[in-house]
Chain A
């Protein structure tokens, strides 16, 4: 069974540019989560999808971040325009159940904004 895959593994962009991160969850997992770790800080929750619906987006930092999950399969997280403080590692995770089940994480997408 394939794990959670994320693309790209590393992206370097300039301030003001746009970046789109993609996450493919484990097949059959309705729940998809985005987390991020900015330099020197804890891993923080961004949002939670159940199928194609946003269940909880309380962790999204501002309206420069847009997450979608069309068709309830893969998800994208777009940052537009990117700022320096957006640099960090963006993790995607999926789970079959939402009630504190086990989360399967991807390897993360490292974003560097210059």
Chain B
């Protein structure tokens, strides 16, 4: 069985602070994919990133960066110099290599960035 845990249900920061959203996963698959999605107030889930289990390189995209560590089964997401527009619910998700796009989601972390 697959499981994704986002222990932080809610985080509040002040604008320009850095913030890290934690994600820990469980899977028996040797090949799997990890995702982060953002859910702004409008409701849709916006794709942010996908990583496969064979690629442990960290990735940076502007103010966003992701740290994938297989040794600790974690795929953490850091926002540098947070902005009010970053306020949203962020979901970490996992899919097995043979499961197509059947995603297992974590419970989400609500991030509030205050001006």
Query: Which positions in A face B, CB cutoff 8 Å?
Result: 3-4, 31, 33, 35, 41-45, 48, 55-56, 58-59, 89, 91, 93, 95, 98-108
Quick check: A107 and B101 within 8 Å, CB to CB?
no
Residues from chain A with Cβ under 8 Å of B45 in the complex: 43, 91, 93, 103, 105
Q: Is the CB of B105 within 8 A of A33?
A: no
Number of A-B residue pairs with CB-CB distance less than 8 Å in the complex they form: 68
- In the complex, what residues of A have CB within 8 A of residue B37's CB? 105
Which of B44, B102, B105, B106 contacts A108 (CB under 8 A)? B44
Q: Which residues of B contact A91 (CB under 8 A)?
A: 45
Measured between beta carbons, the chain A residues less than 8 angstroms from B46 are 105
Q: Tell me, rounded to whole Å, the shortest Cβ–Cβ distance linking A57 to chain B.
A: 11
| Nearest chain B CB to A10 CB, angstrom units | 10
Q: Is B87 interfacial (CB-CB < 8 Å)?
A: no
A41 to B97, CA, bound (A): 24
Q: A100–B43 contact, CB under 8 A? A: no
Return the chain A residue nearest B97 by Cβ: A100
Q: Are B95 and A100 within 8 A (Cβ)? A: yes
Q: In the bound complex, do residue B100 and residue A99 qualify as a contact, i.e. CB atoms below 8 Å apart?
A: yes
B101 contact from A42, A89, A101, Cβ within 8 A: A101
Residue of B nearest to A103 (CB): B101
Are A95 and B101 neighbours in the complex by a CB distance under 8 Å? Answer: yes
* Residue pair A98, B47 in contact (C-beta under 8 Å): no
CA distance A98 to B102 in the complex (A): 9
Tell me, rounded to whole Å, the shortest Cβ–Cβ distance linking B64 to chain A: 16
What is the CB-to-nearest-CB distance from B24 to chain A, in angstroms, rounded to a whole number? 14
Nearest chain-B residue to A59 (Cβ)?
B102
- The listed residue with most A CB atoms (<10 A of its CB), out of B4, B97, B101, B102, is B101
Q: With A and B bound together, what is the CA distance between A44 and B102 in angstroms? A: 9
Contact A100 B44 (CB under 8 A): no
Chain B residues whose C-beta falls within 8 Å of the C-beta of A105 in the assembled complex: 37, 44-47
Complex CA–CA separation, A28 to B1 (angstroms): 32
Taking a contact as CB atoms under 8 Å apart, the answer to whether B43 and A108 are in contact is: yes
Closest to B103 in A: A45
The smallest C-beta distance from B34 to any residue of chain A, in angstroms, reads 10
- Of A43, A95, A102, which contacts B105 at CB under 8 A? A43
